[in-house]
Structures are given as structure tokens and as C-alpha cells.
Structure 1
Amino acid sequence: MASGDTLVVFTPLHHEPPASNPATLDTRNGHPVLDFSDSVIQTAYFSGVMPQHYSGGGVTVYLHWAASTATTGDIDWGVAFERIGDQQQDLDSDGFAASNQGDNNTVPATAGLVDIVSVAFTDGADMDSVAAGESFRMFVRRDSASDTASGDAELVKVEIRET
């Protein structure tokens, strides 16, 4: 697998809501989106299998998002991986690695325009040592406690690329 090649793509319809403070499924002009509030830190989980052709280097997660109504301010995102693997994680508990941040992303001047934010992960502990062929979960979270945009941030797509 070459650097920059897409490994996995998630849409809002793939999300698995956590028990508390989930991002909410919505639509915008027929496009499914996940709404992340400006007043509560909300999370969305995505589950997948790291493709067999993943070479074991780092990955970059690309968040495609739009502001629901805001035209000023910034949005802060957090992303983390949890290796489920082969007898690696008890499904009765969470085991996410520390989140990596994509902070200070300027809101587009027109609400509804999609911005793309990248959040990089080195291989190993930074991405909970997820390996080729192993199942994993990833969370995406808006850090509304530290960003400055008002209204919802709408997650449109998530792409994981090899770096």
C-alpha cells in the first residue's frame, strides 16, 4: 500500500452512538450528517477492519465537515483508535488510546461549505497498535469546550489514509 492511499471510508450512516452524549444523525439537503453540538461534547464511534494491504505505518484521518449555521469561529476535533484485534480488547470495556487533536479549524465563510481537517497518527501506541486485518473502533469528538463556533458542526465523511 502506498502512502496517501485510502484504507477506510465511513459515512454518518456507519456511526455507532455511545451510551451518553452521542452525535445525532441528521440530513442536510438529503446528505446524511452527524450533528455535534456547540454546548455538549458529543462523540461518534465507527467500527472497521484495517485492510490486509495496510503496511503498518501511520495513518491520517480526514474529517469532512461543515458548520450548520456558523460563518465565523473555529471548530476543534478529537480522534482516537481502539484496537479490538485478535484477543486484544474485552468488548465489555473501552480501551481507546489518547486522542489526537485537530484544533483551530476556521469555519468556512458560508455555512454548509465542507472543510477537510487532517489528524495524523504515528504507528504503534498513537493508534493503539491497530494492525492489518484487525478490527478496531475509532471515535470522533467535537471539543466544543475549547472551540469558538456557534451552532452544530456537521460531520459529512471520515476517511483514513495510510501515511
Structure 2
Amino acid sequence: MATGETLLIFTPLNNEPPSSNYATLDTRNQHPVLDFDASTNESAVFSAVMPRNYGSGGLTVYIHYAMSTAVANTVDWDVAFERIGDQQQDIDSDGFAAVNSVDNTTVPGTSGNVDIVNVAFTDGADMDSVAVGEGFRMKVTRDAVSDDATGDAELVFVEIKET
């Protein structure tokens, strides 16, 4: 696989919400979005199998989002991977690796305009050592405690590319 190739794309409809503090499904002009609150850290979880064409390099996660009302200030996002693999994770409990973040991103100047930010992961422990053909989960969290944008952040797409 060539560097920069898209491996996976997730939409709001692919979310498997955690049991608490989850982003809520909504629509904006018939576009499905996940609403992440401005005052509570909320998360969305996406499951997949790492494609066979993954070349075992690092990953970059691209978060496509809009703001429900904010046209100023910043938003912060955290992303973490959990390797399920072949007898790697007891699915009775969570085992996400440490988060990587994109912080202090100035929100679009127009409510509803989509911005794209990215979070990079190096191969190995940074992405919980997810390997080709293994199941995994990825958690995306709005770090509302650290950002200062008002209103919901609306997730539209998540893309994973090999880097």
C-alpha cells in the first residue's frame, strides 16, 4: 500500500456508543452527524478490521467536523486505539491505548462549515500495535474540558490513512 492511501472511512451511523458520555446521533440538513457536547467529554467508538492492504506503518486519523453554533474559539479532539486482535483483548473490558490529540484548533468562521483536522500515530504501542487483519476499536473524544468553543461539535466523517 502506498503511503497516504485511505484504509477506512467511518460515518456517524457506524458509531458504537460507549455506555456513558457518548456523542448523540443528530442530523443537519439531512446529513447524519454526531453531536459532542461543549461541557462534557463525550466519545464515539468505531470498530473495524485492519485491511489486508495495510503496510504496517503509522496511521493518521482525519476528523471532519462542523460546529452547531460556534464561529470562534477552539476545539480539541482525542483519539485512541484498542487492539482486539487474535486473543489480544478480553472484550469484557476496555483496553484503549493512551490518547493522541489535536488541540487548540480554531473552529470555522461559519457555523456548518466542515473543518478537517488530523491526529498522527506511529506504528506500535502508539496505536496499541493493531496489525493487518486484526479487529480493533477507535475512540474519538471531544476534549470539552480543555477547549473553549461553545455549542456542539458535529462529527461528519472519520478517515484513517496510512502514513
Question: Which position in structure 2 is the counterpart of 1:153?
Answer: 153
Instruction: For 1:53 and 1:132, locate their aligned partners in 2 and report how far apart those are by CA, in whole Å.
Output: 8
Question: Which position in structure 2 is the counterpart of 1:96?
Answer: 96
Instruction: For 1:15 and 1:85, locate their aligned partners in 2 and report how far apart those are by CA, in whole Å.
Output: 20
TM-score (norm 1): 0.99
Residues 72-92 of structure 1: per-residue CA shift (max 9 Å, x gap): 010000000000001100000
Q: How many angstroms does 1:15 deviate by?
A: 0.2
Secondary structure in structure 2 of the residue aligned to 1:145 = coil
Instruction: For 1:80 and 1:2, locate their aligned partners in 2 and report how far apart those are by CA, in whole Å.
Output: 24
Could you list the structure 1 runs, at least 4 aligned residues long, displaced by more than 2 angstroms after superposition: none
Instruction: For 2:19 and 2:8, locate their aligned partners in 1 and report how far apart those are by CA, in whole Å.
Output: 24
Q: How many angstroms does 1:62 deviate by?
A: 0.1
Gaps (5+ residues) in structure 1?
none
Question: Which position in structure 1 is the counterpart of 2:121?
Answer: 121
Question: Which position in structure 2 is the counterpart of 1:142?
Answer: 142
Residues 136-159 of structure 1: per-residue CA shift (max 9 Å, x gap): 000000000010100000000000
1:83 paired to 2:80: no
Residues 21-54 of structure 1: per-residue CA shift (max 9 Å, x gap): 1100000000000000001110110000100010
Instruction: For 1:131 and 1:2, locate their aligned partners in 2 and report how far apart those are by CA, in whole Å.
Output: 17
Secondary structure in structure 2 of the residue aligned to 1:61 = strand
Secondary structure in structure 2 of the residue aligned to 1:144 = coil
Instruction: For 1:148 and 1:73, locate their aligned partners in 2 and report how far apart those are by CA, in whole Å.
Output: 6
1:4-153 equivalences under 5 Å are 4-153=4-153
Secondary structure in structure 2 of the residue aligned to 1:22 = coil
Residues 90-112 of structure 1: per-residue CA shift (max 9 Å, x gap): 00011100000011111110000
Q: Which amino acid aligns with 2:42?
A: Q
Q: Which amino acid aligns with 1:158?
A: V
Q: Which amino acid aligns with 2:67?
A: A
Instruction: For 1:59 and 1:86, locate their aligned partners in 2 and report how far apart those are by CA, in whole Å.
Output: 21
Instruction: For 1:118 and 1:146, locate their aligned partners in 2 and report how far apart those are by CA, in whole Å.
Output: 18
Q: Which amino acid aligns with 1:15?
A: N
CA RMSD, aligned part only?
0.4
TM-score (norm 2): 0.99
Gaps (5+ residues) in structure 2?
none
Instruction: For 1:34 and 1:102, locate their aligned partners in 2 and report how far apart those are by CA, in whole Å.
Output: 18
Instruction: For 2:105 and 2:16, locate their aligned partners in 1 and report how far apart those are by CA, in whole Å.
Output: 25
